[in-house]
């Protein structure tokens, strides 16, 4: 059986764009969940139904209806992060980046930076920061989301880390030389 270090070395060889020692899924033993047990079950059921209808409306292109449904869900359970995440996505699609960021910040705060809602909000906020050219803020959000288990966020964090990119490029060259010694001697 391979040790954790052995798996890290193999990960670096076969996936040189990930940071050394970063083994996707290694520390994630259970699926991210949101802690909804503290909410009234009838209200929670009502809110989840509103959110599902809102997602369907957004997917159908009816962003105004989606926003109304997500806002209704927030009015019913204002301490639940999920509807803020969904409304942020609809706001972003409508071009309201400031409103989307407000909702994402609220979702992160309400979630205590744990669970699926926090992970999704951090990824969304990271993307908005990246689009705005705020790479340091984007990288910080992606790193937090990666720590919560988001493989997409992990990849984005690596792409935004200039040191990791340089190390990975050098490691790729070494690995290519090891794989094809006769080709690398000619270059």
Provide the CATH number for the domain around residue 108.
1.25.40.10
Considering the domain boundaries, does residue 84 fall inside one?
yes
Looking at residue 20, what is its pLDDT?
Answer: 42
User: Is position 80 within any domain?
Assistant: yes
Spatial contact of 106 and 118, defined as CB atoms under 8 Å apart: no
Domain range for 137 is 34-161
- The answer as to whether 182 is a domain residue is no
Q: Is residue 2 part of a domain?
A: no
pLDDT at 15: 52
Q: How far apart are CA 128 and CA 115, in angstroms?
A: 20
Give the mean pLDDT of 6-17: 50
Is residue 166 within 8 Å of 16, Cβ to Cβ?
no
Tell whether 184 is covered by a domain: no
Residue 21 confidence (pLDDT):
41
Rounded distance, CA 17 to CA 67, Å? 38
Q: How many domains does the chain have?
A: 1
Residue 91 lies in a domain: yes
Predicted confidence (pLDDT) per residue in 85-122, tens digit: 999 999 999 999 999 999 999 999 999 888 889 999 99
Instruction: Report, as an integer, the average pLDDT of 132-141.
Output: 93
In the numeric block, the tokens 């292109």 are attached to 61
The answer to whether residue 52 sits within a structural domain is yes
């Amino acid at each position: 059986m391979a040790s954790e270090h052995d798996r890290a070395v193999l990960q670096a060889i076969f996936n040189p764009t990930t940071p050394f020692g970063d083994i996707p899924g290694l520390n994630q033993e259970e699926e991210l969940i949101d802690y909804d047990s503290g909410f009234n079950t009838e209200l929670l059921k009502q809110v989840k139904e509103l959110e599902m209808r809102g997602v369907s409306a957004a997917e159908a292109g009816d962003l105004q209806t989606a926003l109304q449904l997500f806002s209704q869900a927030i009015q019913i359970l204002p301490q639940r992060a999920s509807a803020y995440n969904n409304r942020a996505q609809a706001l972003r699609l409508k071009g309201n980046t400031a409103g989307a960021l407000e909702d994402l910040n609220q979702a992160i705060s309400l979630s205590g930076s744990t669970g699926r809602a926090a992970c999704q909000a951090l990824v969304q906020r990271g993307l908005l920061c990246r689009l705005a050219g705020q790479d340091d803020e984007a990288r910080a959000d992606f790193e937090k989301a990666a720590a919560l288990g988001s493989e997409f966020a992990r990849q984005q964090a690596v792409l935004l880390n200039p040191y990791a990119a340089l190390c990975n490029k050098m490691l790729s060259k070494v690995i290519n030389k090891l794989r094809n010694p006769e080709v690398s001697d000619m270059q």
